[in-house]
Homo-oligomer: A and B are copies of this chain.
Amino acid sequence: MAKKVLKFGGTSVGSIDRIIRVSKLIQDETKKGNKLVVIVSAMSGKTDELLSLSKSISKDFSDRELDVLVTSGEQVTASLLAGALNKLGIKSRSLMSWQIPILTEGKHNNSRIINMSTDKINEYLNNGEIVIIPGFQGISKIGDLTSIGRGGSDATAVAVAKLLNTDSCEIYTDVDGVYSSDPNKIPVAKKIDKISYEEMLELSSLGAKVMQSSAVQTAMMYSIPLHVKSTFTNREGTKIFTEKNIDYSKVVTGVAYSKNDAKITLLGVQDKPGIAAEIFEPLGNARINVDMVIQNVSSDSKTTDLTFTVKREDLEESLNIIKNNKKVHVKELSHRTNLSKVSIVGAGMVTTPGVTYKMFRALADEKINILAISTSEIKISVILEEKDTLKAVKKLHNIFELD
């Protein structure tokens, strides 16, 4: 008998038929004698529908009231699933975040779960009941409803697993698990059976959106084993552990890519301490997400050249901010759009020499021009022209034996 958290995402509970399907899947788990806490998202499309209602009232809708509005979505799913389980004769009850309570801190629309009372949940579990909790929400210290950001039901699942000290945390979603690359574009991409938290984080920050990154980070911090699987198939899914539990037969675990990048280059920037902060602080204040940053000493060795990437929709604003930045003198400012980022990720890379060379050689063989390079211990990212993206991904997927 195990104590488990099961989390079902928006598409898994996207219709009455699917909610009934989930109730049967839970029924199978109860037959194994497991104690279950179930976290649910809003039915797919629901959160967007509620957000759009708020936007038709005001683009700048009250943060507090937005949380009251959007948290109703998961409330609906939780009650429907509890009702579906009751219909199967399974004792079950929904518990809202204020009934538990689940305490959060931070700003409205972007709070963090900091604590949860476990007494009531454990009492119901010991009484043989299944507890259904709406994801993505909690209450603040002063008792206001709060939400914890898009995709926050993953964060709820991990937090509940940690605070209840459960044996596992299973994330049910509409894909089979984590793939070595995007299976829709790279048909030879394979499902990964086991992956480390770090690799998962690199892959998900690169666009493989199976789980919310901050939830993976929390799981990593507290060594909570995650298991991502599909609600719609019986395949085994992907287990996410600490690195030491994984036997790396392959150097590279996956190839990820993102499109819609733009590159900004500042040539001849005065080279003095704090200059990078001067450049990036106003961008951060404008909530522009700066991705890769590459800095070189320039040819005259008194100034420096600096290149970074942003999402294309942020390009114009970024350029304006730099032009209007009185504290930074730039000899020449250039930019380029229609770029993409391709990355290879693998925890085995740290201990394997020659991966970088092999990657660059492969891209050169395909006559693909590399515009910028950035590396970390378990990732190498390159910026390419957008038209070369899929060609590069396929080639790398092949030479690193992922096909």
Given contact pairs A68-B78, A69-B76, A72-B75, A83 touches B57 in the complex (Cβ within 8 A) = yes
Q: Which of A49-103 contact B (CB under 8 A)?
A: 50, 53-54, 56-58, 60-62, 64-66, 68-69, 72, 75-76, 78-80, 82-84, 86-87, 93-94, 96, 98-99
Contacts of A84 in B (CB 8 A): 57-58
B75 near A80 (CB under 8 angstroms)? no
Contacts of A145 in B (CB 8 A): 96
B53 near A65 (CB under 8 angstroms)? no
A65 near B83 (CB under 8 angstroms)? yes
> Total interface residues on A, using CB and 8 Å?
36
Query: In the complex the two chains form, what is the Cα distance from A82 to B93 in whole Å?
Result: 30
A65 near B82 (CB under 8 angstroms)? yes
Closest to A78 in B: B68
B87 near A57 (CB under 8 angstroms)? yes
Closest to A23 in B: B57
B62 near A82 (CB under 8 angstroms)? yes
A355 contacts B by Cβ under 8 Å: no
Query: Top 9 closest A-B pairs, CB basis?
Result: A68-B79, A69-B79, A72-B72, A58-B87, A65-B83, A65-B79, A62-B86, A16-B56, A65-B82
- A-B contacts, 29 of them at CB < 8 A, read A19-B57, A53-B76, A53-B80, A54-B83, A57-B83, A57-B84, A58-B84, A58-B87, A60-B87, A61-B83, A61-B86, A61-B87, A62-B82, A62-B86, A64-B93, A65-B82, A65-B94, A68-B75, A68-B78, A68-B79, A68-B82, A69-B75, A69-B76, A69-B80, A72-B72, A72-B75, A75-B75, A98-B98, A99-B143
